[in-house]
Amino acid sequence: MENCIFCRIVAGELPAAKVYEDEDMVVFKDIQPIAKIHLLAVPKEHFKYLSELNAERTALVGRMLEKIAANAPAFGLADGYRLVINQGDSAGQTVPHLHIHILGGQKLGWE
For position 72 contacting Zn ion by CB under 5 A, the verdict is: no
Q: Is 99 an annotated catalytic residue? A: yes
> Rule CB under 6 A: which of 42-101 touch ligand AMP?
86, 92-95
**DSSP per-residue codes, 50-90:** GGG--HHHHHHHHHHHHHHHHHTTTTT-TT-EEEE---SGG
From residue 29 to residue 48, the character string flagging contacts with ligand AMP as x (rule: CB under 6 A) and all else as - is -xxx-------x--------
Strand ordering across the sheet containing 81-84: 18-21, 25-29, 37-43, 100-104, 81-84
Pairing of strands 81-84, 25-29: unpaired
For position 11 contacting ligand AMP by CB under 6 A, the verdict is: no
The listed partner (Zn ion, ligand AMP, none) that binds 97, CB under 5 to 8 Å by sort, is: Zn ion
For position 46 contacting Zn ion by CB under 5 A, the verdict is: yes
Please give the backbone phi and psi of residue 19, each rounded to the nearest 5 degrees, phi first. -115, -10
Rounded CA gap, 8 and 66, in Å?
25
**Catalytic site residue from 38, 46, 97, 99:** 99
C-beta closer to Zn ion: residue 101 or 104: 101
For position 3 contacting ligand AMP by CB under 6 A, the verdict is: no
Write out the catalytic residue numbers: 99
